[in-house]
Amino acid sequence: MQWQRGTVRGWGGAVGGESDVVRPTEISAVQEALASDHGPNGIALRGSGCSYGDASINPGGRVLDTSRMNRILDFDPERGVAVVEPGVTIRDLWRRSIGDGYWPAVVPGTQQVSVGGAAAMNIHGKNNFAVGTFGDHVRRFTLATPTGELLECSRSENSDVFHAAISGFGMLGCMTEIELELKRVHSGRMRVWGIPTRDLDDNLSMIEDLRESSDYLVGWIDMHATGDALGRGQMHRGVQFREGEDPDGATLLAADRQDVPTTLFGVVPKGWIWPGMLFARQLGMVGFVNAAKWRAGFGEGHRSPYPQTHGAFHFLLDYVPNWQKAFSPLIQFQPFIPFDAAPRVLRTLIEMCHKARLLPYLGVLKRHRLDKFLMTHAVDGFSMAMDFHVGGQARRHAVWDLTQRMAEVVLDAGGRFYYAKDATLLESSFERIHGRGAVEQFRALKARLDPDGVLQTELSRRLLGRG
């Protein structure tokens, strides 16, 4: 087994450091790595490294990177059930399934995410309100634990571990084989509406009005707008075609028809866009760009609905390669707020950003529902993801201070947080988010499956301590 020293960072580039990394290709090598002589910082599990913050980094320790365990072991085209190794990406998965009329039931904003990382974080999509989280579509997985066991976990076998490892941010063992069910699609595209929204209340009430009749809903928020326009933005609504509704849609059920284009307007290479975005940020034009985007939303509103492939609808962020470089180093802060408190709390959070003069360059609103996973981030309510450029020491300090103050407002309202997007929460928040009972249950499982505390990350040390 070869450990290679290198720099391992969170996706946003704001946190990271030197680690010894191993990239196994077989389960036996995963077990060997977990049993190896590790130092006080143990071993972090890592999929594609798409968590914005410190969830899959381990400065001063070891990292087990699953990206080379990337075989699709089985796909049943009748039932849409796949058995995969953990490093298979969402892109690998849909490319295999779309020809048979199946699409992953839950996908994030980038297709680079691995199935192991998606399950461990229990990721959500723009359809969380309708179909639940990624874990809701996992049927079973095999978990290699630091005690050397290979545990089979499902809703009926080791159900406690099943419900804790999904959402357990890689703390209980390494998922080495995952079985999941995909959803039927009858066309390679769907109907999409882009609808401008006046303010925050308009955004929130539109989601409520449309959610019974929509498959996907996501709100973009112009975080720079103030006064009566505070919280304005644009809602994107996706509705799938039912069987027979889109006669031409079947031809788009081909992997190559779903890939995101590599040029803008068919001419400009997409790789040229991020330097333009960087320039706009450096010139202080992000507010202007947001306002222009909001106005352009009216044109899109007039053209709506329009057909769009699944790939183009879901993976907008993959359209612009390396876009994060324009805002890097960056962190994302995504609080989840119960329904009744959401209008007040979201407004307060936006106002706090304005007061601190630290405006997120991006704000994204989603509707969520509860789930059964132990370390869940879910609420019956809304989340608002806010992306902050971090920059130098002074700005970093200010962003950390602001997000920690905002976290207090969210926790006081009974809200939760999502560790895939976190870099700044304090240890004291952990029990407030999950409640003492859930935390004790999680710690007991950790003590049983990983008694020596082998599995660690910067995130786990920040929130759980070393215990």
- Which one of residues 121, 312, 349, 353 is an interface residue with ligand FAD (CB under 6 A)? 121
Binding segment for ligand FAD (CB under 6 A), chosen from 45-53, 231-239, 288-296, 432-440, is: 45-53
Select from 21, 82, 88, 123 the one that contacts ligand FAD (CB under 6 A).
123
* DSSP per-residue letters across 145-197: -TTS-EEEEESSSSHHHHHHHTTSTT-S-EEEEEEEE-EE-SSSEEEEEEEEE
238 forms part of the interface with ligand FAD (CB under 6 A):
no
Beta carbons within 10 angstroms of residue 7's beta carbon? 11
Distance separating alpha carbons of residues 45 and 42, to the nearest angstrom = 10
Q: Which is nearer to ligand FAD, 375 or 399 (CB)?
A: 375
Nearest residue to ligand FAD, using CB? 117
Bridge partners of 17, per DSSP, are 8
Q: Please count the residues of this chain forming the interface with ligand FAD, following the rule CB under 6 A.
A: 33
Query: Which three-class secondary structure string do you get for 379-437?
Result: CCEEEEEEEEECCCHHHHHHHHHHHHHHHHHHHHCCCEECHHHCCCCCHHHHHHHHCHH
Provide the residue count of the chain. Answer: 467
Supply 231's token pair.
């919280």
Closest distance of CB 175 from ligand FAD, Å: 4
One residue of 239, 317, 409, 411 binding ligand FAD per CB under 6 A: 317
Of 116-124, 285-293, 341-349, 433-441, the window that binds ligand FAD (rule: CB under 6 A) is 116-124
Binding residues for ligand FAD restricted to 154-213, rule: CB under 6 A = 169-170, 174-175
- Residue indicated by tokens 């249950």: 441
Nearby residues of 244 by Cβ (< 8 Å), 6 or more positions away: 186
Q: Which of 42, 47, 101, 329 binds ligand FAD (CB under 6 A)?
A: 47
- Is residue 335 within the footprint of ligand FAD (CB under 6 A)? no
Least distance (Å) from ligand FAD to the CB of residue 173? 7
How many C-beta neighbours within 10 Å does residue 354 have? 14
CB of 199 to ligand FAD, least distance (A): 24
Q: Which is nearer to ligand FAD, 138 or 182 (CB)?
A: 138
User: What DSSP character marks residue 85?
Assistant: -
Does residue 350 belong to the site contacting ligand FAD (CB under 6 A)? no
If one asks whether residue 429 binds ligand FAD (CB under 6 A), the answer comes out as no
Angstrom distances, CA of residue 54 to CA of 51, 95, 420: 7, 29, 8
Q: Which position among 11, 103, 327, 430 is part of the footprint of ligand FAD (CB under 6 A)?
A: 11
Q: Buried b vs exposed e over 267-287: b needs ≥16 C-beta within 10 Å?
A: eeebeebbeebbeebeeeebe
If one asks whether residue 50 binds ligand FAD (CB under 6 A), the answer comes out as yes
Which pair of tokens denotes residue 213? 């009749």
Under the criterion CB under 6 A, does residue 56 sit at the interface with ligand FAD?
yes
Return the residue of 61, 117, 238, 363 that touches ligand FAD, per CB under 6 A.
117
151 binds ligand FAD (CB under 6 A): no
Side chain identity, residue 303: R
Stretch that binds ligand FAD, among 32-40, 43-51, 240-248, 432-440 (CB under 6 A): 43-51
Q: How far is the CB of 414 from ligand FAD (least distance, A)?
A: 21
Indicate whether 48 belongs to the interface with ligand FAD (CB under 6 A): yes
86 binds ligand FAD (CB under 6 A): yes
Report which of 383, 370, 387 is spatially closest to residue 335, judged by C-alpha positions: 383
As a whole number of angstroms, the distance between CA 176 and CA 174 comes to: 6
Nearest approach, Cβ of 367 to ligand FAD (angstroms)?
A: 13
145 binds ligand FAD (CB under 6 A): no
Q: Is 120 in the site for ligand FAD (CB under 6 A)?
A: yes
The residue among 77 and 451 lying less far from ligand FAD, judged by its C-beta, is 451
Q: State the minimum distance, in angstroms, from the CB of residue 76 to ligand FAD.
A: 22
Q: Residues near 14 by Cβ (< 8 Å), separated by ≥ 6?
A: 53, 328, 329, 330, 331, 390, 396, 423
Question: C-alpha angle with apex 305: 308 to 219, nearest 5 degrees?
Answer: 80
Q: Rule CB under 6 A: which residues touch ligand FAD?
A: 11, 44-51, 55-56, 66, 86, 108-110, 113-114, 116-118, 120-121, 123-125, 169-170, 174-175, 317, 420, 457
